[in-house]
Structure 1
Amino acid sequence: MNYKKGSYRDFVQSQCQSNPCVTGLAEYLGCGSGTASTIVTLDYPRPAPSPLTITEANLAKLIYATSTIHGRILLVENIRPHLISLLGEILDIDPVFFAGHITTDFKDIEIAPPPPSLALFPSQIAERGYLHIHYQQVLDLGSADLFRSSSYSLKSDSNVPRNIRRLPHLSGRQLALARACCSILVKKINGSWICLILVDPAVKTVIETLRSGDRKAYPSMLLHGGFEDFVQLASFASFTSGTTDRSWDKKSMLNNLIHYFRNPPPGFLASEPSILSLGYYPIRIVLADWILYTHLMSRYFKYYEYTLHDIENRLHDSDIIDLQRWRRRSMQSQHKLILLAEFVDYWLLQEADKQPWNLILKDIKHVMSQLEHYNRSLEHMVPVATSMVQLLDSRRWMLEAANVSRLTFIALVFVPLSWVASLFSMSENYSPGQKYFWVYFATALPVLFLVLLLTAVQWNQVAGKLKETAASASQQVRRKNAEVASV
């Protein structure tokens, strides 16, 4: 198919044949307008740049007005299709960059092409010069009583709906995992640089799609207020003097980046910053979220450590499915960290000060080792839990067999009585109150005792005794025949 000069959407569609991984982006550009995106700029070389919120109408004019600055960080939260087309046309952005941010679902291969994070090799992603940081956020959805019959699959209420997976409740609290992505791209324009950073909005509401097609919303918030601050804390003296203010709204990645970019990251040069220096704060924030994620995995492994004492109260068939999901989720998480480590390692050679990035690589390896440890634990836990489920099913089967035995015994008691009653019902003289009614008991009770006696007999032992008696008699006959022959 040949495409003529047109919109950015036409350009993306023309790339679907050579790069199927951008198919999800082409579909997204054909969606509705969506809610308005939040756009914030930070201009350099100001030592402490002040964030400026702008509208989409003024975006193109602001991008071209770069003659008085060295460069600009352009933060976009909750990007919508129209803004992707606008930025793609102005900055001439590779569609794979937007596709890596928009398409993060791991759909089945027979349904849709894989996203760029799976379709491309880590080395290919690193050398393209833009960074996608995929991570998991731990959400607190409130009381578990509200989710007794809710679906496992939920969505975020944003222009790019992210997958949210509901986890088994812990201590009466309902937790969930939300996928998120932070994408970074550096472009040159009019002798200046522009760093485009795409972030997801704060997950304040999760959406459940019911079977009827209706949507049900639940409030959500970050577990324990989010990640741990990685910047050195202020001293007590500065706190008492009121010269420091470290408090900020940590609910969204946008607020976090605005807070941290007030100070230049390691290796940052206002005239020509590297992609690693601009990605320092996003990487640090994401690694802090990964640490919380590993602690959550540790908590759930403790939850799944079963004992035979409480097997009937805790272990269910759904737990086997949850364990399989955790194992698959762990493998996906390791892949995301591998992509991040490959990107840092590829661009590290261009950094003058390598110490901060060597520490980051060590932190990435630490998180990966934790995930690998839990993944191996899952491999051992799944067959153990499966065996316990089978043991629980065997116990239930034995209880059901005992109940059947009781019912059989009751039938043995009443069948002879009912048979004799039907036999004597042929004459009125044997009905209750008549002179021959006593004959019913005289006949039914011996028959009942005979039936119970026959059921109590161990027929296997009787058959064995009969075989022994027959064998003994046969031996005696052969012995007598031998004696007669000898005479």
Structure 2
Amino acid sequence: MCPDRMAGDYIGYVESLRHRYPNLRRFCDIEGASNVKNKEETSRVVVIEIRENGISQKGFDSADDLERYMQGPPSGSEPCKHRVYVLEGTAPAYLQVLGRRLRMDPFVFAEQLMRGGTRKEQAATLPSQHGLERCFSMQYVEARVFPDGRLNTLGACCLYRDRKIWATKINSKFDEVAKVHRIASFWSRKEANGAFNGLILVDPPVGQFIKIGKAAEKEIRPCQSSLYQGGYVDISPFPCALDLDRDWESQPGPTRESLFDDILFYWNHMDRFPNLHSSILESPAGFFDGASFFLKSIIAANWMQFLVYFDEIIDRLEYSLARADINALDGVENHLVDVTHWHRRCWKSCEQVEHAIHALQPQQRSSPTAGSAFTGIDDFVYIHRKLCALTERCQRLSLSLTHVISVIQSRQASEEAHSLKILTLLGMLFVPLTFLSGIFSMSGDFLPGERSFWIYIVVSIPAVIMVFLVVFSNQVAQFLKLREKPRKSLLNVRLTARPPMFAQGEAKDAEKG
């Protein structure tokens, strides 16, 4: 990126690059000058100033306040060594200031603006293109409960950037728990004076309204929701020393409703994490890993919450298979559809976590960027391993359901063949009777109850027997062969039991001896 060009209109400069970089088109469509809807969009931004003796936070009410701060930060008693900006949402006014002042790579914003849960508009770049910058973009899932059947459609999304809300179906019924797609990004760079600047991008909360429908037909509906099982587990380490004799007050925790507020909460309680402050000040890798530590940990905790829900779903599907009616083909096929959906969802989650692991791996180009103690890779490696195990469970369950469907279909085919055989026998019985009555015009005195009806019976019985013999000729021949075999075997036994004539003569000569 050219610093001189970015000194003016940052978004305008990015728009001029859309022909060189097709993956910037979504950024230009949303944040460009032609989109009037986003001009009134608001965001929240806070800067975290990291000093030798601690940290401080400063919020901004408008993009102009942020512009004045970044143009000439106030000088305090102790100089600020590093800064981390936290931005909720992607209002164009704030992106304009941050992108221009920090000379940011627009691909970071393009990743954050990616919609849905697909990689259709992913801003794919090579690691060597980032230069001295280090950044990552992570996708994760937030499990939320929509009670009383308020979410009964598959086409739901958030108001912000149409983030997908995946409703869950179990046995063709919508479950109360849904998966909300989320994206969070982090960017950092070392400046010429040795200081570091960082930026954390997060999505706003789900809110009380969602979109329902397809494409242009979407309508906004009120829809209350809550976090699944109260949200993720607190990422703060449990205290090693417990003093049970003193009276403990209730310790505050994160709200878990807004990632922006949760990150600021943990920055305010940085004393719960020993050595984190010193690690941020030590080296470039320490700043990258430490400044993004809370973001990574919260994302990993949300993934763990998703694993709990996913494991519960697989248990329910396995239990449904064990209790399923072996004759109910429709029910088993619905189970297979559910398992296939979850297998795809889990495989996609494995891909997203694997992408996060790759982004967090320390750079090997120089020793100062080696990983620190706060990389967070181990958490994502564990999550990836658990997701792979759940994927295998889905695959085994899918194979079991396929075998059950094969058994049901075989049984149905056998029952249909048996029914067809019965219909054939009935036809073989009545067709000759109808044929004879039609050929010989056996009506009047030959009808049932008349004096000559016995003639019709005498003529029809041989015809019916003849038809059955012709149809079952192979079975009759096989039956006669089976009757013939015992007679032959009995004759062979009698012949082998009788001694030959020359043997009897030799016995008499031996007696006369």
Measured after TM superposition, the shift of residue 274 of structure 1 is: 1.9
Q: Residues 385, 206 of structure 1: CA spacing in aligned structure 2 closer, same or farther, 3 A cutoff? A: farther
After superposition, residues 53-452 of structure 1 pair within 5 angstroms as 54-68=61-75, 70=80, 72-103=83-114, 115-116=122-123, 119-121=124-126, 128-142=133-147, 147=152, 150-151=153-154, 154-158=156-160, 160-169=161-170, 173-186=175-188, 194-204=197-207, 206-210=210-214, 213-215=217-219, 217=221, 218-233=223-238, 240-242=247-249, 245-264=251-270, 266=276, 267-269=279-281, 274-305=287-318, 310=324, 312=326, 315-316=332-333, 317-319=336-338, 321-322=340-341, 324-326=343-345, 328-343=347-362, 349-350=368-369, 354-357=372-375, 360-378=376-394, 382-416=398-432, 418-419=434-435, 451=467
Partners of 1:63 and 1:336 in 2: CA distance: 33
SS of equivalent residue, structure 1 residue 115? coil
Which shows bigger deviation, 86-95 or 302-311?
Answer: 302-311
Give the aligned CA root-mean-square deviation in angstroms. Answer: 4.5
Match of 1:459 in 2: 474
Unaligned 5+ segments in structure 2 are 485-513
Match of 1:19 in 2: 21
Relative to structure 1, the CA distance from residue 450 to residue 78 in structure 2 (aligned partners, 3 Å threshold; closer, same or farther) is farther
The verdict on how the C-alpha distance between 1:10 and 1:356 changes in structure 2, with shifts beyond 3 A counting, is: closer
Report deviation, 1:241: 4.8
Deviation at 1:54, TM superposition (A): 1.6
Distance 1:442 1:127 in 2: 106
CA deviations on 1:74-129 (whole Å, 9 max, x unpaired) are 32222234543443234332111111211265757xxx5x513xx33456669632
Q: Specify the code of the residue in structure 2 equivalent to 1:315.
A: V
State whether residues 276 and 344 of structure 1, in contact with CA within 8 Å, keep that contact through their aligned partners in structure 2: no
Q: Shift in Å at residue 325 of structure 1? A: 0.7
Q: Which AA in structure 1 matches 2:199?
A: L
Checking the alignment, whether the CA contact within 8 Å between 1:140 and 1:221 is kept in structure 2 is: yes
User: Deviation digits for residues 384-441 of structure 1, max 9, x if unmatched?
Assistant: 4434433333333333333333443444455445556656878666678877677666
Answer with 78-87 or 131-140: which moved more. 78-87
8 Å contact from structure 1 (residues 162, 179) kept in 2: yes
For residues 47-78 of structure 1, the C-alpha deviation after alignment (integer angstroms, 9 at most, x for no partner) is 56456352345432343241335265432222
Query: Is the Cα contact below 8 Å between 1:145 and 1:172 reproduced in 2?
Result: no
How far is 1:449 from its partner? 6.2
Do the aligned residues in 2 keep the contact of 1:203 with 1:221 (CA within 8 Å)?
no
- Decide whether the 8 Å contact of 2:132 with 2:189 is kept in 1: no
Q: What SS is found at the alignment partner of 1:167?
A: strand
**Deviation per residue, 1:184-205 (Å, 9 max, x gap):** 2346899876532210122345
Offset, 1:279: 0.6
Change (3 A) 1:236 1:162: farther
Separation (CA, whole Å) in 1 of partners of 2:369 and 2:114: 30
| Aligned residue identity for 1:275 | F
TM-score, normalised by the number of residues in structure 2:
0.70
CA distance in 2, matches of 1:196, 1:182: 11
Task: Tell me the equivalent position of 1:478.
Answer: none
Q: Partners in 1 of 2:312 and 2:71 — Cα distance?
A: 51
**5+ unaligned residues in a row in structure 1: which ranges?**
470-487
Answer yes or no: is the 8 Å Cα contact 1:187–1:195 preserved in 2. Answer: yes
Residue 212 of structure 1 and its aligned partner are, at CA, apart by 9.2
Q: Is the 8 A contact 2:213 2:219 kept in 1?
A: yes
Alignment-derived partner of residue 30 in structure 2: 28
**Computing the radius of gyration over CA atoms, which structure comes out larger, 1 or 2?**
2
Which amino acid is the alignment partner of residue 95 of structure 2? I
Q: Distance in 2 between matches of 1:366 and 1:166?
A: 26
1:133–1:181 Cα contact (<8 Å) kept: yes
Mapped to 2, the partners of 1:461 and 1:309 lie a distance apart of 45
Is 1:184–1:279's contact at 8 Å kept on the other side of the alignment? yes
List per-residue Cα deviations over 1:298-355 (Å, max 9, x = no partner). 334434548677473663241463254145314413422322431588899458x944
| Shift of residue 259, structure 1, vs aligned partner | 0.9
**Alignment partners' CA distance in 2, 1:142 and 1:82:** 37
* Residues matched between the structures, number: 451
- The question of whether the paired residues in 2 share the 8 Å contact of 1:311 and 1:388 is answered with no
Question: CA contact under 8 A between 1:136 and 1:178: conserved in structure 2?
Answer: yes
Supply the AA of the counterpart residue of 1:366. Y
**What SS class does the counterpart of residue 274 from structure 1 fall into?**
helix
Q: What displacement does 1:257 show?
A: 0.8
Counting aligned pairs with the same residue, the percent is 18
1:201 is paired with a residue of what secondary structure? coil
Post-superposition offset of 1:297: 3.8
Q: Distance in 2 between matches of 1:451 and 1:439?
A: 19
Distance 1:429 1:145 in 2: 75
Structure 2 CA distance for partners of 1:467 and 1:281, relative to 1, 3 Å: closer
Match of 2:162, SS? coil
Matched letter for residue 166 of structure 2? R
CA contact (8 A) 2:339 2:394 kept: no
Amino acid at match of 1:232: P
Inter-partner Cα distance in structure 2 for 1:163 and 1:172: 16
Q: Which residue of 1 aligns with 2:506?
A: none
